[in-house]
Structure 1
Amino acid sequence: MEKKGLELLFEEASDALFLIEKDRCMKQNKSALELEQHFSIHLNKILDIAQGKGCMLHSTMENCLDCEVKADWDQRAFPIVLETTSGKQEQFSGSYSQLDSNKSLLSIRRVATEDRLQQMIQNKRLIEYVNQAHENERRALSQELHDGLAQSIYSLMLETRQLKWNTQTNDFNEKLQRIDEDFVSLLNEVKQLAVDLRPAALDDLGLIPAIEALLYRYRETTGIEIHFIPVVPNRRFADSLETITYRVLQESVMNSVKYADVDELWVTLSERENHLVLTVRDHGKGFDLQTVNEHSQGLGLLHMQERAESINGHLEIHSEKGEGTTIILRLPIGLEGIK
C-alpha cells in the first residue's frame, strides 16, 4: 500500500521527474511526458550538468571550468535552459538526488524568467557589449588622432619648414597668418576630443549647463532643432546621477539623429517624487522595440537600461513605427544624491 502511495505521488507530481539508473531513464511521470511534448530534452547533457560536468552556458567541464554560473550552482537547484520545438529557449531549474548506488532522481521545474541567473546571463551579454563599445571608442579615437590631429600637425610642420627658407617672400605675413589660423583650428580639434571623452562642463558647472552645451553642439553639427526645457533649478547632483543622465541623453539624441529622420527634438528635465526625470521625444520613424532588442542594435538600449538600474533608476522606451519615440529616464535623487 505504501508503495502504491509513493508511485501515485511520483506520477502526480507537478515537477517533471525522471528515474535514472546507470545514466539511463527507466521511468518518468506525467509532467515529464508533457514536458517532452513541448521541449527538446537532451537527458545526457542535463545529467552532465547535474553531476557537475558543466553548466547551463557550457555543456562540458572542459568549456565551463569555473565560470560565474557554475560557481553559483549545486545539485539541489541548478539552472538549465530547454528549447521548444519552435526554437524558443526557456529557463528551468533542475534538482538531482542519488537514491542508492545505482538509482537517482532528476527533477525539472519551470522558474520565473527574471530570476538571478537570467540576470547574470544578461549581465554577461552586457559586459561583452561594454567591452566592444570600449574597443570601438578606442578605435575611433585612434582613427581621429591619426587622420585628424596627426595630419594637421604634419601639414603645419611642412608649412613652418617652408617659411624657414622663404622669409623674404612677399606673402610671408599671409602664410604666417594662415599658419596661425591652422593652429587655432588644431587647438579646437584637441578641445573637442577632450569634450567627447569627458565634458568639462559636467564637472565644473553641473548637469544643466553640460546638457545645454551638448545640445548646442548637436544643433550646430546636425541642423536639428532641439528644444531643451529644464524644470529643475541649476544645482549639483551626485556624480553618478549626473553622468548617467548625460550619457543616456547623449545616446538617445544620437539614436534620433541617426535613425528617426527628424528635424526637431524635445528634451525636458524635471523633478518628480524625489526622482530626476529626463524625457527625450521625437516624432520620427519609430521602431518595434521587440525586433530591435533581438538584434545587436538593441544593445545600446540595453546599455542605457543597465546604466539606470545601476543606481536603482528606471528607463522606459515607448516607440511605434511612424509615431516617433519617447525615452523616459527616472533616477532617484535621495538626500545622499545632492552635492
Structure 2
Amino acid sequence: MNQIVLGIIIAFIFIGLILFFCVILIRLYFNKIKKYTKLLHQKDLDFQKTITQTVIETQEQVLNNISQDLHDDAGQQLTYINFQIENMKLDSLELEKKLDPVSQSLGHLSKSIRSISHALNSQLLLQQDVIKAIETEIIRLQKNNKVDIKYSFEEIVFKKFDDNEKIIIYRIFQECISNIFKHAKASTMSILITTNPDFKMIIADNGKGFDSSDKKNKLSLGLLNMINRANSIDYILEVESQIGSGTKIILSENKRI
C-alpha cells in the first residue's frame, strides 16, 4: 500500500515537473516571438524612416534648385528689365511718371522673389535660427490682406535645434501655411510657438475645416507628408478639424498633448 502511495506521489511530482518545464518552454517561446516581432517592427520603422529621409533629401534638393533658379535667372531678368526701364526714363522725361509705378512694382517683385528664394533654400535656413526664419516668413506673409495672421512666441530658455529639426520644422510650417491659403478659405490664422518645456508649434485657422478622421482628406491636404516628416525626427504631428470649425495643427516634441 505504501509503495502504491509513494508511486502515485512520484508520478504526480514527475507530471508536475513536466508541466513546469512545459510552462517555462512556452514562456521562452512567447518571449522569443515577442522579441522577434519587436525587432521586425523596429526594422520596419527604420526602413520607413530611411525611405522618408531619402524622399526629404530629394525634395530639399529640388527646392534648392528652384531657389537657385529664382535667384540667378528670374532675379537677373528682373534686374535687366528694370535697367531698361531706367534708361527709357532717362531718354524721355515724359515717360518718367508713367514708368515710375512699373519700376516700383518690379522692385517689390524682385524683393518677393528674393524672399521666396531664401525660404526655399535649406542651406540658408541652416545658417540661421529656425524660429527667426519663421518670424521673417510671417512678416512677409502678413502683407497679404486676405488672411489676418497673429503670431506668438514663448521662450523661457534658448533651444538649439539640429539641422534635420530645422529643415523639417520649417517645411511643416510652410506646408501648413500653404494649405491654409490654398484650401481653408480662412480670414484669420494664429501661430503659437513655445519651447517650454519642449518644442511645440500650433497653427490654427477659422476656415472651412474638414473631417480629420477621413484619410482621404489628410492625403489631399498633404498631411500625410507632414506626418512622415515629423516622424523622421521623432516629433508628433496632430490634426484637429471639423467641417465649418477651422483646423488646428500641432507639431510637438517627444509627447502627445
**How far apart are 1:170 and its partner, in Å?**
4.9
User: Where does residue 303 of structure 1 map in the other structure?
Assistant: 225
1:212 maps to a residue whose letter is E
Q: Is the 8 A contact 1:202 1:209 kept in 2?
A: no
**How far apart are 1:264 and its partner, in Å?**
0.7
Q: Distance in 2 between matches of 1:171 and 1:133?
A: 49
Which has more helix, going by share of residues?
A: 2
Q: 169, 178, 187: which is aligned to 1:254? A: 178
SS, match of residue 221 in structure 1: coil
Q: Is the 8 A contact 2:148 2:189 kept in 1?
A: yes
Residues 326 and 173 of structure 1: CA distance in aligned 2, closer, same or farther (over 3 Å): closer
Q: Which 5+ residue runs of structure 2 have no aligned equivalent?
A: 1-32
2:226 maps to a residue whose letter is M
Relative contact order, higher structure (CA 8 A, sep 6+): 2
- Paired residues for 1:43-192 under 5 Å: 115-116=41-42, 119=45, 126=52, 130=56, 133=59, 137=63, 144=70, 148-149=74-75, 151-156=77-82, 158-159=84-85, 166=91, 170=93, 184-185=107-108, 188-189=111-112, 191-192=114-115
Residues 237 and 323 of structure 1: CA distance in aligned 2, closer, same or farther (over 3 Å): same
Q: 275, 285, 296: which is aligned to 2:208? A: 285
TM-score, normalization by structure 2:
0.61
1:229 aligns with 2:155: no
Q: Distance in 2 between matches of 1:281 and 1:317?
A: 10
Q: 269, 275, 298: which is aligned to 2:198? A: 275
**How far apart are 1:219 and its partner, in Å?**
1.6
SS, match of residue 214 in structure 2: helix
SS, match of residue 220 in structure 1: coil
Residues 244 and 141 of structure 1: CA distance in aligned 2, closer, same or farther (over 3 Å): closer
Q: Which 5+ residue runs of structure 1 have no aligned equivalent?
A: 1-76, 78-110, 334-339
SS, match of residue 275 in structure 1: coil
User: Where does residue 237 of structure 2 map in the other structure?
Assistant: 315
**How far apart are 1:116 and its partner, in Å?**
4.6
1:149 maps to a residue whose letter is G
Q: Report percent identity of matched pairs.
A: 22
SS, match of residue 250 in structure 2: strand
Between the two proteins, the alignment pairs up a number of residues equal to 217
SS, match of residue 195 in structure 2: strand
- Aligned residues: CA RMSD: 4.4
